[in-house]
Amino acid sequence: MRVVEAGLYRVRMPLVHGFETSSHRKNEIEHVLVRLRDADGHVGWGEIASPSAPYFGAETTDTCWIIASSVLLPALVGSEWESPAGAASAWRRVRGNRFAIAGVDAAVWALHADATGTSLAHALGGSQSEVVAGVSLGIEPTIDALLAQVQRHVDDGYPRVKLKIAPGWDVEPVRAVRAAFPDLDLHVDANGAFAPVADAFAVFAELDRDGLTMIEQPFAPDHLLAHAELQRRIDTPVCLDESVETVDQFRTALHLGAVRVLNIKVSRMGGLTAARAAHDLAVDAGVPVWCGGMHEFGIGRAANLAIASLPGFVLPSDVSGSDKYYARDVTTAPILATAGRVGVPAGRGLGVEVDEAFIADAANDHLEFGVAGVGSAAEVAVA
């Protein structure tokens, strides 16, 4: 297979409801969309779902745009490969920059699925036709506002709710939600906001009494020893997110006893190839996994559903309906949840129809790449 054309589109869309974590609040999302085309006209789309600011990790929309446009796509366009793993040789020398790589890797997988006449989920080895979805709720101005948000999503049929927490917004709001919804599958996510000190361990000891499914990423990414110590002190499973960017880091966390549940984010781990490898290791280790999200548009959401169809994804994933986030999506039809479940796209390739006209109109920046006969490999045309 040979990619002869590639495009990058920088698209910003407002959120239906603002979202606040322990680091910042966001009211709109800007992602970079990747389009690949091979010599036979097959197309694959991917989404670089990096945050705009360096609070979740080191990468931003700006850095991803630079790496994708100056390194990844110039190396990929014109290269020949037989499988998505072979395409990865185009960026094997690139260190880090996993969000940027993830969007290109997903586009490669979607292109491969389109060219072989199968769905992305099937190409990855997925076996589930639908995925149980959970929702992630940000920090609200008041506990009453939080309870209203939880009620709204419970009424919509979502069986699991994740609450963002931070120092000072922890035990009280969680306990209020648990009191109001005693049977709800509930877990919390700190995004590494707590320092591994006595006061923090006391907070998590309190939360350990609330019947949570898991406590996600309580400490900063490098604090694996602190996560292991916390897991020894509490019964609630510790789930890692930011701490695991590679399969080798996952192996280290397993060895230390720092992880009992893994949040597999395609973007954080550098794409579908790495996410599938992490899934396989987790299955071998007996660790349940679920698919985390980065407020993806419909393209990235379809890729998340495809990976979440693998058999080891046994916990509700952050693949809720796109209408929860966006009034208008980049696909011709939104991805929707019914009674807390989302169907895995079964169509050829990505499995959803991308609205290319809408993307072209909405993009605030656009780059095109080509090879001889389509355009010079060294040429980058700015639309």
Which residue numbers are catalytic?
164, 265
Are 206 and 180 contacting, i.e. CB atoms less than 8 angstroms apart? Answer: no
**Cα 349 to chain center, whole Å?**
19
Number of H helices, E strands in the chain: 13, 14
Tokens for 295, please give them: 């407020």
Dihedral, 9, 48, 2, 120 alpha carbons, nearest 10: -120
Beta bridge partners of 341: 132, 338
CA–CA separation, 229 and 377 (whole Å): 52
Beta bridge partners of 257: none
Tokens for 168, please give them: 């000072």
Q: Show Cβ contacts of residue 323 under 8 Å, excluding neighbours closer than 6 positions.
A: 16, 329, 334, 336
Beta bridge partners of 263: 290
CA–CA separation, 335 and 298 (whole Å): 7
User: 10 Å Cβ neighbour count for 268?
Assistant: 25
Q: Is 161 helix (H, G, I), strand (E, B) or coil?
A: strand
Nearest to 114 by CA among 356, 302, 354, 350: 350
CA–CA separation, 123 and 126 (whole Å): 7
DSSP state of 324: G
Specify the residue for token string 């990096």. Answer: 50
Specify the residue for token string 């991917």. Answer: 46
Beta bridge partners of 163: 137, 188
Amino acid occupying residue 278? A
Are 169 and 139 contacting, i.e. CB atoms less than 8 angstroms apart? Answer: yes
CA–CA separation, 285 and 260 (whole Å): 10
Nearest to 36 by CA among 28, 25, 44: 44
